[in-house]
Amino acid sequence: MTAGGARRELVIVPDAGALARAGAARVRAAIEDAARATRRCTVALAGGRTPRGLYEVLAEQGADFPWEHVELWFGDERHVPPDHSDSNYRMVRDALLSRVAIPAANVHRMRTEQPDAQTVAADYARDLTTAFGVAAGSWPTFDVILLGMGVDGHTASLFPGTPALDVRDCLTVPVWVAELRSWRITLTYPVLNAARQVCVLVSGADKAETLRAVLEGGEDGAHFPVQDVHPQQGLLTWLVDEAAASRLTRRA
Ligand code: 6PG
């Protein structure tokens, strides 16, 4: 237990398949909790490669899910059309949305077909404000936010050295990622840190050194964007496989 009711846990599973199943189980539990409380379950989905297996497990199990109670959002998106091979929405559509009976109105993608990333970000912030009914200066509270982590310690599209890391007064922000020479749109830290539960999914030996530095401190005192994810009143779960955990000296 840490200060203010924030809770943090490290869960190590054998491999990527186990990570997908464990992650899907957490999302399913949140959906079922919300359904029991006869309220909607709001989930912000991660992009990239790691979560695809989780989405596929949700699709395989999802025949009897109360999808009408689930609202799916995106933690970040690449500024490409929704059918582009780099689109996080397209990856989620192929792995999950095309395979389950979730109402189209319950899926909230970023409208990246718009030519300007700033407009995409502003529109999404409006969508969030309307859907969650939040007043100016307060933050939507997601039931679950899924995140990944890059080798550079970025999460969502909060990349090292970008102005997005300092944004505390907006729900979303466009990010120019110089090393990728591309625009992205991301939720900001206040939204991530307002969540009831954040689950960071980390898989693969290529992430091991970064994960060790993030969780145990780097020799050079380096600081990584994912280290500023601290749900104030929620649970932060690091859900990692053995390959990613292979450099950790502490496993709890
Ligand atoms: C994205 C993600 C990004 C991702 C990390 C890890 O849009 O790519 O939001 O933050 O989670 O880059 O990506 P992998 O899972 O592909 O390693």
pLDDT of 4 reads 58
Residue count of the chain, please give it: 252
Digit-coded pLDDT (tens) for 177-236: 999 999 999 999 999 999 999 999 999 999 999 999 999 998 788 999 999 999 999 999
Residue pair 207/19 in contact by the 8 Å Cβ criterion: no
Compute, in angstroms, the gap from residue 46 CA to the centroid of ligand 1. Answer: 7
> With b meaning 16 or more CB within 10 Å and e meaning fewer, what string describes 64-73?
ebebebbbbb
Ligand 1 lined by 47 (C-beta under 6 Å): yes
Residue 37, judged by CB atoms within 10 A of its CB (0-12, 13-18, 19+), counts as exposed
Ligand 1 pocket test target in 149, 159, 202, 214 with most atoms within 8 Å of CB: 149
- Please report which confidence band the pLDDT of residue 1 belongs to, taking 50, 70 and 90 as the band edges: very low
pLDDT of 148 reads 98
Residue having the nearest C-alpha atom to atom 8 of ligand 1: 48
Ligand 1 pocket test target in 45, 110, 155, 180 with most atoms within 8 Å of CB: 155
